[in-house]
Amino acid sequence: MNRANQSRTILLIAPLSHGLYGDSLMRAFQGFGYRVTAINSRCYMPKALSFSSRVIRKLMSRVNLARFNHAVITGACRMKPDFIVVMKGVNLVPSSLRTIRQKMPGSTLININYDDYLSASPGNKFPHLNQMIPCYDYFFPSKKINVEELLELGARNVEYIPLGYDPAIHYPVSIASEEARIYRAEVSFIGTHTRARARLLSTITDYNLSIWGDLWTMKHINPKLTRAATNRVVLGQEFSKVVGSSRISLNFFREGNRDTHNFKTFELPACGGFVISERSDELGDFFEEGKEVVAFEGVQELKDKIDYYLRHDEARKKIVRAAYRRVQSEKYTIRDRVESILDLMKN
């Protein structure tokens, strides 16, 4: 802990729950000696998985949005923090940011985003991006392409910060014999349903496949995928159990999010998983293809790689060991990413 930072305060505005990025960020800042107070956006905009909960959330959206923004303004004015760290913040309206800027000119406003700032996806899209940009002192995108885009839109300080993993959450876990039937699979995928992911997974349903995440049991998807889907979101130790019980863990990027890496790029090998990932230029910056990660482009290469590594256990285990050594030796943790953010602001 850095004792010089013990009097420094941070107001963190993020979704907070065990296994979520917001929790990891909070622990990382606290680890550097900052006193962190958090506003949990999940309390105001809860995740809705069932049809009825989505209807309720839509009906309450205006009320919840107003309550959330009021809580942020009130909390910031009461606390007067040195730093206000907003994780994504699509629901933080520009007028709230301007009020905070006006009332607390000495506070530094920071925006950290694990998604694409210019995403067209409803959950990731910033409705007033041009208006909010002047309110922030720093932007830390996880997409390299966002750096020039944000600067062109008028952002003052923009620095690319990759995603990472949290060693307090992502680590190899021993599986009890009675849990094996729940988690064991030849091939597993962890993630929310998208059409692109469903198309890819539909081509490999002949394997012993398990799918973990939400929205996979909707009526319009392939019945074979429905049978493979648990419709359970796995976080923390259960995430590690799924990875450790799978001979192959798949990682797909989201084209609409312009992903070239994601959290699972680091989380899966940190849990001791054997990873077959969609290929990207940036993936090779983190892991050596063929030695620490296996990559594919297109359905046929995916099938070929699955077939090969299901038949060659020693080759698969060698890559698992090499990938695990890499995440342990490199600065790939969320704490490392926070340290980079703090260093960049000092400079």
pLDDT in tens, 125-149: 898 999 999 999 999 999 999 999 9
Per-residue pLDDT, 62: 81
Q: Work out the average pLDDT over 149-172.
A: 97
Per-residue pLDDT, 100: 96
* 287 vs 91: CA distance, rounded Å: 35
pLDDT over threshold 60, residue 51? no
Q: Give percent of the chain with pLDDT exceeding 90.
A: 79
- Homologous superfamily of domain range 177-329: Glycogen Phosphorylase B; (3.40.50.2000)
Q: Are 189 and 252 in contact (CB under 8 A)?
A: yes
pLDDT 10s digits, 274-311: 999 999 999 999 999 999 999 999 999 999 999 999 99
The distance of Cα 203 from the centroid of its chain, to the nearest Å, equals 26
* 32 vs 265: CA distance, rounded Å: 25
Q: Work out the average pLDDT over 209-226.
A: 86
**Which residues have CB under 8 Å from 301's CB, separation 6+?**
none
pLDDT over threshold 90, residue 47? no
**Which residues have CB under 8 Å from 29's CB, separation 6+?**
10, 12, 36, 85, 338
Instruction: Note the pTM of the prediction, 2 decimals.
Output: 0.92
Averaged pLDDT of the chain? 92
The encoded tokens of residue 60 equal 């309450």
Burial group, residue 271, by CB count within 10 angstroms (0-12, 13-18, 19+) = buried
pLDDT over threshold 70, residue 78? yes
User: What is the DSSP-derived secondary structure letter of residue 42?
Assistant: G
Per-residue pLDDT, 93: 94
Q: Helix, strand, coil shares of the chain as percentages rounded to 5?
A: 45, 15, 40
For CA atoms 86, 90, 91, 92, give the dihedral sign: positive
Q: Work out the average pLDDT over 28-40.
A: 96
Instruction: Give ∠ CA 219-262-197 in degrees, rounded to 5.
Output: 25
Per-residue pLDDT, 214: 87
* 202 vs 199: CA distance, rounded Å: 5
Per-residue pLDDT, 181: 87
Per-residue pLDDT, 66: 92
Q: Work out the average pLDDT over 222-234.
A: 89
Per-residue pLDDT, 46: 64
**Residue whose token pair is 């493979």:** 228
* 70 vs 95: CA distance, rounded Å: 11
Domain limits, CATH 3.40.50.2000, in the chain = 3-164+333-346, 177-329
For CA atoms 119, 120, 126, 132, give the dihedral sign: positive
Lowest pLDDT segment from 66-75, 108-117, 174-183, 317-326 = 174-183
pLDDT over threshold 80, residue 1? no
Per-residue pLDDT, 84: 97
pLDDT 10s digits, 7-27: 799 999 999 988 889 999 999
pLDDT over threshold 70, residue 6? no
Per-residue pLDDT, 318: 98
pLDDT over threshold 90, residue 347? no
What's the CATH number of domain 3-164+333-346, 3.40.50.150, 3.40.1010.10, 3.40.50.2000, 3.30.420.40?
A: 3.40.50.2000
pLDDT over threshold 90, residue 54? no
User: What is the DSSP-derived secondary structure letter of residue 203?
Assistant: T
Q: Work out the average pLDDT over 205-222.
A: 87
* 281 vs 266: CA distance, rounded Å: 16
Residue 44 pLDDT grade (very low, low, confident, very high; cuts 50, 70, 90): confident
CA atoms within 13 A on the CB side of 206: 4
Per-residue pLDDT, 2: 61
Per-residue pLDDT, 176: 86
